[in-house]
């Protein structure tokens, strides 16, 4: 059983909860938040001097709070111990942070390999991160000869990548990305992305690649996104 609540005294700083929240937010949105590295550095000797005591203190603070603080505590575990520790409080903290992401529909392609590694260690290799909706039946409008169909715009704004599909042969359909060469060079380039033997299979691959809806998608492609948009 976890050691949560068994320690009357904690060596964590008084602002630990707010620092953990900032660590969680900065780990998920690094361009929007500055990581509290001084707090992380201060936690290192505590975690090494008394591992189980530190984990009990951290669990007592982070697990009941949940949210970004729990996710920040999970990130702190990575900094202190890595991903493979199988200890009750470690696992309780990890699951609180992971369940926060799952409750907001964060898709697997936005979850770090460290987080997924812990998830599968605790829940089992066969347990999916999130259960997506089934692939729809093939009711796609066929491509006309020579047609290049725009099916998605990744982000808002004129600088976003665009996704097109085309047919190269009776059994070869290709999705290509149209985008600017670089931030400094606005010339557009097109690169092949995915290929499949049918338009239906190609749409499946595009949906699996995005996992959640992008900024704009053709109504027929919308049905192929397995997960709804996340709420964080």
Q: Which helix (H) or strand (E) holds 148?
A: strand 148-153
In this structure, are 40 and 117 located in the same domain?
yes
Distance, in Å, from the CA atom of 128 to the CA atom of 98, rounded to the nearest integer, reads 13
Contact yes or no for 167/185 (Cβ under 8 A): no
Dump pLDDT digits (tens) for 203-213: 999 999 999 99
| 44 in any annotated domain | yes
Q: For residue range 90-146, list pLDDT tens digits in order.
A: 999 999 999 999 999 999 999 999 999 999 999 999 999 999 999 999 999 999 989
Measured distance CA(209)–CA(122) in Å, rounded: 26
Query: 9 pLDDT band (50/70/90 cuts)?
Result: low
Residues 24 and 111 both lie in one domain: yes
Q: Is residue 227 part of a domain?
A: no
Q: Is residue 4 part of a domain?
A: no
pLDDT of residue 46: 93
Range of the domain at 73: 16-123
pLDDT class of 2 with cuts at 50, 70, 90: very low
pLDDT value of residue 10 = 72
Q: Which residue has the higher pLDDT, 172 or 183?
A: 172
Give the CA dihedral 26, 180, 182, 231, nearest 10 degrees. 0
- The domain total for the chain is 2
174 with 197: CB under 8 angstroms?
no
Kindly state whether residue 6 falls inside one of the protein's structural domains: no
Q: Is 169 a domain residue?
A: yes
Mark whether 23 and 56 lie in a shared domain.
yes
pLDDT value at 1 more than 50:
no
d(CA 72, CA 23): 5
Which of these three, 123, 158, 186, is where a domain ends? 123
Kindly provide the b/e burial profile for residues 6-45, where b requires at least 16 CB atoms within 10 angstroms of the residue's own CB. eeeebebeeebbebbbbbbbbbbeeeebeebeebbeebee
**Over the stretch 43-88, which tens digit does the pLDDT of each residue have?**
999 999 999 999 999 999 999 999 999 999 999 999 999 888 999 9
Residues 58 and 102 placed together within one structural domain of the fold: yes
- The verdict on residue 35 lying in a domain is yes
Asked if the model's pLDDT at residue 6 lies above 50, the reply is no
The answer to whether residue 155 sits within a structural domain is yes
Residue 133 lies in a domain: no
């Amino acid at each position: 059983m976890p050691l949560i609540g068994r320690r009357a005294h904690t060596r964590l700083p008084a602002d630990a909860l707010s620092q953990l929240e900032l660590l969680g937010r900065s780990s998920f949105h690094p361009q929007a938040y500055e990581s509290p590295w001084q707090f992380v550095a201060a936690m290192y000797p505590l975690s090494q001097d008394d591992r189980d005591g530190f984990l009990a203190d951290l669990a007592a603070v982070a697990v009941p709070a949940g949210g970004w603080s729990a996710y920040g505590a999970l990130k702190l575990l990575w900094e202190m111990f890595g991903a493979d520790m199988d200890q009750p409080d470690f696992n309780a903290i990890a699951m609180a942070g992971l369940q926060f992401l799952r409750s907001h529909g964060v898709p697997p392609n936005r979850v770090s390999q460290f987080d997924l590694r812990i998830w599968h260690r605790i829940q089992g290799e066969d347990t999916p991160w999130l259960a997506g909706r089934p692939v729809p039946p093939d009711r796609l409008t066929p491509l006309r000869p020579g047609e290049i169909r725009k099916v998605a715009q990744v982000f808002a704004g004129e600088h976003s990548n665009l996704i097109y599909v085309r047919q190269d042969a009776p059994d070869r359909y290709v999705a290509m990305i149209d985008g600017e060469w670089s931030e400094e060079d606005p010339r557009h380039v097109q690169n092949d992305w995915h290929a499949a033997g049918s338009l239906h299979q190609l749409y499946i691959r595009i949906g699996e690649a995005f996992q959640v809806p992008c900024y704009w998608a053709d109504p027929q492609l919308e049905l192929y996104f397995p997960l709804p948009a996340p709420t964080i």
